[in-house]
């Protein structure tokens, strides 16, 4: 299946910093999802976006569905050590099939 372009590939951040990552696609999606995966575990759903332009928050996480329906971004505010992990974006078109990005690895410096 197609892969989305997710950036950055990795980031080192200072505890307390705000961070941002984004995802772009050549295809239009009806749904954008953001997952977090810890080592040895499966991806856990963080935020789901269903409408172009939608801005949704979940605690310190905020995500937006791009107006073109071809992109999305995720912000983490006031990073803490447990934010370490790999963040995946995923897009879904009309066929219920999810296409995933390659992930952004986040490491927090205490």
Partner 1 sequence: EAGVVQSPRYKIIEKKQPVAFWCNPISGHNTLYWYLQNLGQGPELLIRYENEEAVDDSQLPKDRFSAERLKGVDSTLKIQPAELGDSAVYLCASSLAGFEQFFGPGTRLTVL
Binding site for partner 1 (CB under 8 A): 1, 3-4, 6, 33, 35, 40-45, 48, 88, 90, 95-98, 100-103
What is d(CA 54, CA 33) in angstroms, rounded to the nearest whole number? Answer: 12
> What sign has the CA pseudo-torsion 13, 22, 40, 43?
positive
5 or 14, CB closer to partner 1? 5
The distance of closest approach from Cβ of residue 78 to partner 1 in the complex, given in angstroms and rounded to an integer, is 26
Contact 77, 18 (CB under 8 A): yes
2 or 57, CB closer to partner 1? 2
| 80 token code pair | 């803490």
The distance of closest approach from Cβ of residue 88 to partner 1 in the complex, given in angstroms and rounded to an integer, is 5
């Amino acid at each position: 299946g197609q892969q989305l372009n997710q950036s950055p590939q990795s980031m080192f951040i200072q505890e307390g910093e705000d961070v941002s990552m984004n995802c772009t696609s050549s295809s239009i999606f009806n749904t954008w999802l953001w997952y977090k995966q810890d080592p040895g575990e499966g991806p856990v759903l963080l935020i789901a976006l269903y409408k172009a332009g939608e801005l949704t928050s979940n605690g310190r996480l905020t995500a937006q569905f791009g107006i073109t329906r071809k992109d999305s971004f995720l912000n983490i505010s006031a990073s803490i050590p447990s934010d370490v992990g790999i963040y995946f974006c995923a897009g879904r078109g009309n066929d219920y099939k999810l296409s995933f990005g390659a992930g952004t690895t986040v490491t927090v410096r205490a």
